[in-house]
Structure 1
Amino acid sequence: MLAPKFPFTNTPLPSVPPVEEAAPTYSPDQVPSCGGHGILEILEVTRFLEAHGIECCVVGVSALMFYGAGRSRDEWDLCVPDDKLHEAAALLACGSIADRLHPVPPLPIQHPSSLSHTYHRFKGKGIHFYVILVPAHDAHIPSGPFRIMRSMNNIPYPTLQVLMQSFLDTNDEVSLCDCIDGSNVSEEWGRRYLDLEGPNDLEWASRMNQRAKEAAQGRGWPFVHYFPTQKINRREKWESRVRSKTGRLEWKTPESLFDTRFRLKGSPDPWTQKLMSC
């Protein structure tokens, strides 16, 4: 199986003017649904886009949480096809959902190995709920159509194979190990479902680094973050990270009780359970 190819364009992001967040008042934002996780809110956003013919899937930290990783979330990363990014941003800013969601300025700081500070960002009106639109190219998620798995709450996520492949191809070491430890998959699973032949996607890393550099210069910032450009053997990376699952255990997760740092022995796969965080 050949590594997926992604379209890439220098077309600027859509000119949807952000609306400044309201000044603080005596009425603070309400807590989102499901104990602050915002499940009903992100479900409404995904259904709205899908109803307008725009496929989408949740990526980033939320996807890792869905597959069992112990992460915390500040906002939802929502992946859309590259050629639908302009339309999706305009719909969320001006569509019928605009009475509950509005555009806000992008993140004011750079994050390592991320272009999140350049993406369209939206906030729920009166609630502490944020969603960022992520182009499929940047998430290294093949589109046309997305291969998704829906949670028990009906939220679309990339399948485990697609998500794991993206971490391997982009040499995202931290996310790869978190996904392995959350899903507790085996070496054999990777041989069956992943493309382990050849190196990681260095062309993708080069394009992302160039865009990161341009974005930093455009804001007068030093170019301090980057995407890994080290060439790796995907099979060797996969085998070594799966075999070291127990080596990532800590004193709080003893091997007598845990298979991985996120999974108790005999625990069911998290994505088969109706969790209020996914």
Structure 2
Amino acid sequence: MLASNIHINPPVPPSLPVADTATYSPDEVPSCGGHGTLEILTIIRFLEEHGIECCIVGVSALIYYGAGRVRDEWDLCVPDNKVTEAAALLSSELISDKIHPVPPHSTSHPFSLSHTYHRFKGRGIHFYFVLMPAHDAHIPSGPFQIQRSLTGLPYPTLPILMQSYLDMNDDVSLCDCIDGSDVSEEWGRRHLDLDGTNDLEWTSRMNKVAKEAARGKGWLFVHYFPTQTINKREKWESRVRSKKGRLGWTTPDNLFDTRFRLKGSPDPWTQKRMSC
């Protein structure tokens, strides 16, 4: 079983027949207060030992860079040409005592193809992760440009992650990343490619996959990726300049620089945290 710091045995659901209560085995809570940090670290080390590089993207990457997000599962990014190999390794007996494959999500999620990915669960533990191709995260591969957390988890560097949100026109994640990292306009001019427009070729390919995945499932609604064209420089300047405008009544500007950052607070990724 994967490492766990907390063991909670909830009561047996009342719907279970009395005869079944002896065999009922609820999932344990994952490590680090339920975050599953040590579990995903075990998975990453396993893949790296077998020659497959990876990095953590999605909600987890936003949390690492300071955004106030809630994680349901980890998004583990691998090179496009390594997805099949990684899935086979993670489904093998080499690690079957720790994880096992589970069905993908049954419905599509906004701005995501997570319902098409290989998905895994900790054995006897409430811990889930998916394998995401680098293309889908708009992360250049070969090799990944990563920054490791103090726990040892690999994340895309902040410029790589921020660039991906601009190129994908993922406005929500872009604003969350800006407000979590509290970067400036000048930072963007030095570290990002702000010329031209977002990557509509990427958008077209992602929407094609989404449409094909929905075919035959009878879904009434499919989440597609936004197809409008944006000027990256204008988008960047607009979103950085509006940091104060995203403050709410719970984050007054006399105390907060952004909705996620108290005045004078250190960069979150320089601090050791249970979540990353």
TM over 0.5: yes
Q: Which of 220, 230, 254 is 1:222 aligned to?
A: 220
Q: Which has the larger radius of gyration?
A: 2
Q: What corresponds to 2:118 in structure 1?
A: 120
Q: Could you say if the C-alpha distance between residues 277 and 33 of structure 1 is closer, same or farther in structure 2, counting changes exceeding 3 Å?
A: same
In the TM superposition, residue 223 of structure 1 has moved relative to its aligned partner by 4.7
Q: What corresponds to 1:181 in structure 2?
A: 179
CA distance in 1, matches of 2:150, 2:40: 14
Q: What corresponds to 2:202 in structure 1?
A: 204
Structure 1: 5+ residue stretches without partners: 1-22
- The 5-angstrom pairing of residues 29-178 of structure 1 reads 29-178=27-176
CA distance in 2, matches of 1:95, 1:247: 52
Contact 1:57 1:148 in 2 (8 A): yes
TM-score between both structures, scaled by the size of structure 2: 0.91
CA distance in 1, matches of 2:87, 2:93: 10
Q: Give the residue type in structure 1 aligned to 2:151.
A: N
CA distance in 1, matches of 2:205, 2:184: 32
CA distance in 2, matches of 1:197, 1:174: 21
Query: Number of residues paired by the alignment?
Result: 256
Contact 2:210 2:222 in 1 (8 A): no
In the TM superposition, residue 96 of structure 1 has moved relative to its aligned partner by 1.4
CA distance in 1, matches of 2:221, 2:159: 33
CA distance in 2, matches of 1:122, 1:46: 13
Q: RMSD of the TM alignment (CA)?
A: 1.2
2:40 aligns to what SS in structure 1? helix
Contact 1:122 1:130 in 2 (8 A): yes
4+ runs of 1 displaced by more than 6 Å?
A: none
Q: Give the residue type in structure 2 aligned to 1:36.
A: G
CA distance in 2, matches of 1:234, 1:70: 24
TM-score between both structures, scaled by the size of structure 1: 0.90
CA distance in 1, matches of 2:271, 2:259: 19
Q: Give the residue type in structure 1 aligned to 2:154.
A: P
Q: Which of 219, 234, 237 is 2:235 aligned to?
A: 237
Q: Give the residue type in structure 1 aligned to 2:138.
A: H
1:134 aligns to what SS in structure 2? strand
- Per mean C-alpha deviation after superposition, the further-off stretch among 217-226 and 157-166 is 217-226
In the TM superposition, residue 98 of structure 1 has moved relative to its aligned partner by 1.6
Contact 1:258 1:265 in 2 (8 A): yes
